[in-house]
Amino acid sequence: MTRLARLSLMTAAGLVALLIVGYIGVVRPWHMRWGATDDEVAMRLAGDALAAPDAVASTRAITIHAPAATVWAWLVQTGQNRGGDWYSYEWLENLFAAGMRPVKGIDPRLQDLKVGDQLFMSMGAASNPIMAVRVQSLEKDRLLVLSGGWTFALMPLDAATTRLVVRYPMRPAELVHPALSFTIFEPAHFVMESGMLLGLKRAAEADPFLKYQPLPPDQPVEAQTHAGY
Amino acid sequence: MPGTDSPGRPGLGRLAGRGAGAASLAVLAYTLAFLLYAFARSGLTLLATVNEAAGLPATLLATWISLSIAALAIALLVWPLAALVGAGTALLIGALCAAWNREHAPGRALAIGAGACAAPAALIALALAASAGPAWTSSLAETLGFWLGLPLLVYIAAGGLASLELNRRLVAVRA
């Protein structure tokens, strides 16, 4: 091995070591509570009772300048089998065969979400249940609890502003083995979940008071969506 | 066989080691290329949504570092298989060049290297296309393109270049 090659290898190893130390020491503690206040992190949420005893929970939050009813209208459309995606980085999800397609607007047919309904994380979820989550409980405009205790809590700050708090209890073997969960699932989940919260914010704030007028049911659903998003 | 019939020709172990090394570099290069693409796309999304007061620099940095950790962990999982394929391919290219390129023509060396990689790559692509059948969608094509299509192109290019490099070294030794 030449001196230059040895130097390059050592530099690369040093950079990777720095990346790992930076992630564990600084980034991970920060992203596990991205956007959340101390109170929100400490707060008991409805899904906590469903979390596995050894789960490590992330609590992430965002302020959305739209009424809770608007945020709810977008939130209940979540799922590859429903609105089409999870409002996150669709291009990244589709590299993993998720089959996501952008949600174009509020679909009145998707507003009646019920306990037991499935939300697909990928297009293969029909034959691979591990890629779907089920609605465990819900309270319109306030709370959505999915499998494993994944909780979306909507808290109105005033008539036109909503705080969305999301808690995800991650099991150590979420991705086959704790080491894979820690190095692949957890950072990827942060990227996707923060992307989802930002996507919901973008969608809800585009038309906070839902000025669209649903058309008669015989109209194609594309015509019923408002033009704001 | 390389290393047994000609002095100066690299031995089998050395050839396999070089092949494994080249494959490891190719995995690293592909991971870095993906990360650059992912940084750009996620960065554009975040720039459009998060304002500076809401923590844009920190969110951007955390997103990029998290993407890097996950991508490098996946690369680490793929690496042993890639190294094995690289070692096997290097031995195959060495044997083919010894048999069919005794005059050390660079063009033929390039063709042998690229061809040795293109043949299995084409078989894999055809088998996948046949098995996917009517289930073939643009989304599936995107997924397979990322996990298989582009890596196979890198594999073919690396095979050609490695064969050319092997040929160059053999010419240098002979001279």
Q: Kindly list the domain boundaries of chain B, sorted by start residue.
A: 12-174
B8 DSSP 8-state letter: T
CA–CA distances in Å: residue B44 to residues A18, A35, B74: 25, 20, 24
Q: Distance between terminal CA atoms of chain A?
A: 56
- pLDDT tens for the 175 residues of chain B, in order: 444 445 556 788 999 998 999 999 999 999 999 999 999 999 999 998 887 666 889 999 999 999 999 999 999 999 999 999 999 999 999 999 999 998 889 999 999 999 999 999 999 888 887 887 666 777 778 888 898 899 999 999 999 999 999 899 888 877 7
**Model pLDDT, residue B3:** 43
- Which residues make beta-bridge pairs with A162? A64, A156
Contact at 8 Å (CB) between B27 and B78? yes
Between residues A164 and A221, the one the model is more confident about: A164
**Would residue A222 count as lying in a domain?**
no
Per-chain mean pLDDT for chain A: 89
Sheet of strand A150-158, all strands in order from the earlier edge strand to the far edge: A56-64, A161-170, A150-158, A143-146, A132-139, A118-120
SS3 B134: helix
Cβ contacts (< 8 Å) between B143 and chain A: which residues? Answer: 94-97
Between residues A107 and A164, the one the model is more confident about: A164
Give the per-residue SS3 of chain A: CCHHHHHHHHHHHHHHHHHHHHHHHHHHHHHCCCCCCHHHHHCCCHHHHHCCCCCEEEEEEEEECCCHHHHHHHHCCCCCCCCCCCCCCHHHHHCCCCCCCCCCCCCHHHCCCCCCCEEECCHHHHCCHHHEEEEEEEECCCEEEEHHHEEEEEEEEECCEEEEEEEEEECCCCCCCHHHHHHHHHHHHHHHHHHHHHHHHHHHHHCCCCCCCCCCCCCCHHHHCCCCC
**Would residue A17 count as lying in a domain?**
no
CA distance A97 to B141: 9
Cβ contacts (< 8 Å) between B61 and chain A: which residues? Answer: 27
**Model pLDDT, residue A64:** 95
CATH number at residue A34: 3.30.530.20
ipTM of the complex: 0.86
CA distance to partner chain B, nearest, from residue A80 (Å): 13
Contact at 8 Å (CB) between B121 and B65? no
Mutation to test the A interface, candidates B139, B143, B146, B147, most A Cβ within 10 Å? B139
Confidence of residue A104 (pLDDT cuts 50, 70, 90): confident
CA distance A98 to A80: 8
CA distance A220 to B147: 36
The first and second tokens of residue A129, run together, are 């249940």
CA distance B19 to B88: 7
Which domain range does residue A34 map to? 29-210
Contact at 8 Å (CB) between A162 and A143? no
Confidence of residue A228 (pLDDT cuts 50, 70, 90): very low
How many A×B Cβ pairs under 8 Å? 80
Of the segments A7-21, A99-113, A182-196, B161-175, which one has the largest average pLDDT value? A182-196
Segment A19-44, tens digit of pLDDT: 999 999 999 999 999 999 999 999 99
**Model pLDDT, residue A1:** 65
Segment A108-163, tens digit of pLDDT: 999 999 999 999 998 888 888 889 999 999 999 999 999 999 999 999 999 999 99
**Model pLDDT, residue B134:** 65
**Model pLDDT, residue B48:** 86
**What's this model's pTM, rounded to 2 decimal places?**
0.86
C-alpha triplet B60, B64, B67: angle, nearest 5°: 140
**What's the total number of domains in chain A?**
1
Contact B140 A187 (CB under 8 A): no
**Would residue A103 count as lying in a domain?**
yes
The first and second tokens of residue B115, run together, are 């061809």
Cβ contacts (< 8 Å) between A194 and chain B: which residues? Answer: 59, 63
Nearest to B49 among A96, A180, A202 (CB): A202
**Model pLDDT, residue A226:** 40
Cβ contacts (< 8 Å) between A229 and chain B: which residues? Answer: none
pLDDT of residue A173 exceeding 50: yes
pLDDT of residue A220 exceeding 70: no
